[in-house]
Amino acid sequence: MIKYRGIRPNKEPFIACLSHTAGWHEFLLYWLYYQFDPIVKNSCLVLSHQKIFDSQPFKWIFNKINIVWLDKDRNIKKIIDKIQKEKYKMVLIAPGGCDNNPIPWKIDYYYVGKSLGWGFRVIGFDFESKRLKIGPYVLPGKLLETESSLQKQMGDIVPLKEKNSFVPIRKHDSRRVSMITKISLLPLILIIIVIVYIFCLRGNAKQSLGSTIFHVTLSLYGLYLQTNNDIAIRCIGLGIIYSHLIVIYMGFPRLPENASISAALFGIIIGISKDEPYIYVPMLYSLLSKVPKYAKNSIEQCRAIVLAIVLSKIIYKIRT
């Protein structure tokens, strides 16, 4: 859940200053919110240069998940050019360095915002309330004035490591400060139990180990679609779970083939219209594994996968 102070971000782009200091947990949370929330979707995370960024496959992976990094010379112009080229609407920067070594604020965030003509907001995960908090819009002014305004807001966001904070933190219960809660672990435990149960059923269902892994993976994707705001996409996700788990391993009747094809086609249309490859690429595979004929073996499955990748590349080129 996201809690906003001031007006909810709408169309105006902004520099999102990570509260306190950045660490692996901020990186993980950014990726999670990037998947699930439209505000964070069109954004990038700016990090200081690390050797790992220059080596493959990490360079390719970081580019795919919108991670941008300063080069060794801290050339801000390259970052600005990248932001303008990709048309990002939110740029996350940690002015205070990493969580193990809090330092006086770097000024990169300010010059990036000033050069783009953007304002600033404080953004950070509150580890007591377990919410992402986004502060009110701060117009770009003089460096010290802007920095002071932003730091005043940061005390409302409880960090994971309070000792590394360079601003006073609001009153809170330190016993509740954590990455996750016991209650939040229950869904994960239930998912693991269901997966183990499915593997126990594969003998009766006459499914190989590889086939079961395949069906469980697709079902987890269907579960992932339940985080989408579009009810049609959630229904398609439930259909995937039903077809790949309940039908195959529990003997329930199959969905009509026309219904499955229509759902895949509908998912492709929605995914393309919203520019969400994680929806239309799997839906392309789903459609191509049924049309022109049902893919019954690994060779035919590979054919569907290759065609889905090729078509998704063509769609991406057309849209960009």
Question: Does one domain contain both 116 and 197?
Answer: no
Ranges of the chain whose pLDDT falls below 70? 1-11, 20-41, 47-55, 65, 70-74, 95-106, 164, 181, 184, 320
Question: Does one domain contain both 83 and 64?
Answer: yes
What's the pLDDT at 4?
Answer: 52
What's the pLDDT at 195?
Answer: 93
Q: Report whether 289 contacts 265 (CB < 8 A).
A: no
Question: Does one domain contain both 167 and 200?
Answer: no
Closest CA to 249 of 289, 287, 294, 213: 213
Q: Report whether 264 contacts 287 (CB < 8 A).
A: yes
Buried b (16+ CB within 10 A) or exposed e, 270-296: bbbebebeebbbbbbbbbbbbeeeebe
Question: Does one domain contain both 60 and 140?
Answer: yes
Structural domain harbouring 276: 183-319
From 132, 154, 176, give the residue that closes a domain. 176
From 152, 176, 200, give the residue that closes a domain. 176
What's the pLDDT at 132?
Answer: 78
What's the pLDDT at 86?
Answer: 81
Instruction: Domain count for the chain, please give it.
Output: 2
What's the pLDDT at 71?
Answer: 66
What's the pLDDT at 229?
Answer: 74
What's the pLDDT at 79?
Answer: 80
Residue 141 in tokens = 């002014």
Question: Does one domain contain both 155 and 26?
Answer: yes
Q: What is the pTM of this model?
A: 0.60
Using the structure block, give the residue that is written with the tokens 């220059």: 54
